[in-house]
Amino acid sequence: MKKAIIIIAIAVLTGGMVSAQTYTYESSGMSTSSSPTSYYTFAWNFAFPMGDFKNWVDKASIAGFDVSGHYFVKNGLTVGFDIAWQRVGQTFDNQTFVIPDSGVAITATNYRESWMIPFGAVVGYHFIPDKMVSPYVSLGIGGDYMEHHLMIQEFDIWKSVWDFSLTPEVGVLAKFGKYSGWGGMAAVNYKWTTNKIEMPNETFKSISMVNLKVGIVYFVK
């Protein structure tokens, strides 16, 4: 997971370096605009496996977080980045597996888990960015670093993979005050990937999920 930690660190540092504040002036004097020039989010991520991924692990997971930065280009159009960390896992009883390269067949309880580091570019549109409550739609284009583990007694069979992903999202931002630099956010997205999980006895394709995000927002004016 060292690669994952490095990726997260680079993204967070990059977001912090580009933060800046600008101001607008009115004829009566200087005033702070209620329209942000950019914003950053930190959200708790709830994952719900879908498709063949649900045959690998069918339980929802609350183990995840999401960090993003978005910059207004024109009107409500934004571009930015998104990076996250997620884990799903589940225990299964009395399943039989043949351990690779050993010829040993084991019938036992096993534990399955997947660690995910999604990352990518995001293009979005905010319908009313200067209002207290601003709904938006976006599309994330990027990839994932994933580790899939199958643990049977003392055996840990695992594989690491990279993939391509698309993530359409709908959500809403809500400021804590008209001129406040802070707010809350809620969103839901569907994540499709080219990933697949190849394990003894079975291969799982069409790895996808629905994510629910709830978090805080920092607005830069």
In this structure, which long-range contacts are made by residues 154-161, counting pairs with CB atoms below 8 Å and at least 24 apart in sequence?
A: 155/99, 155/106, 157/99, 157/100, 157/199, 157/200, 159/197, 159/198, 159/199, 161/195, 161/196
pTM: 0.79
| Least confident stretch, 16-25, 69-78, 126-135, 164-173 | 16-25
Q: Is the pLDDT of residue 2 over 60?
A: no
Q: Is the pLDDT of residue 92 over 60?
A: yes
Q: Is the pLDDT of residue 109 over 60?
A: yes
Split at pLDDT 50, 70, 90, the class of 13 is very low
Q: Is the pLDDT of residue 28 over 60?
A: no
Mean pLDDT, range 122-137, rounded to an integer = 96
User: Which position has the higher pLDDT, 165 or 21?
Assistant: 165
Listed residue (147, 148, 54, 155) closest to 97, CA to CA: 155
Name the percent of the chain lying above pLDDT 70. Answer: 82
93-114 in b/e form (b: 16+ CB < 10 A) is eeeebeeeeeeeeeeeebebbb
CA 149-63-181 angle, 5° bins? 145
The full set of domains in the chain, from first to last, is: 2-13+41-220 (2.40.160.20)
Mean pLDDT, range 18-27, rounded to an integer = 38
Phi, psi of 15 (to 5 degrees): -60, -40
User: Which position has the higher pLDDT, 205 or 201?
Assistant: 205
Mean pLDDT, range 31-36, rounded to an integer = 61
Listed residue (69, 53, 15) closest to 191, CA to CA: 53
Q: Is the pLDDT of residue 207 over 60?
A: yes
Split at pLDDT 50, 70, 90, the class of 73 is very high
Q: Is the pLDDT of residue 10 over 90?
A: no
Mean pLDDT, range 137-150, rounded to an integer = 96
Split at pLDDT 50, 70, 90, the class of 108 is confident
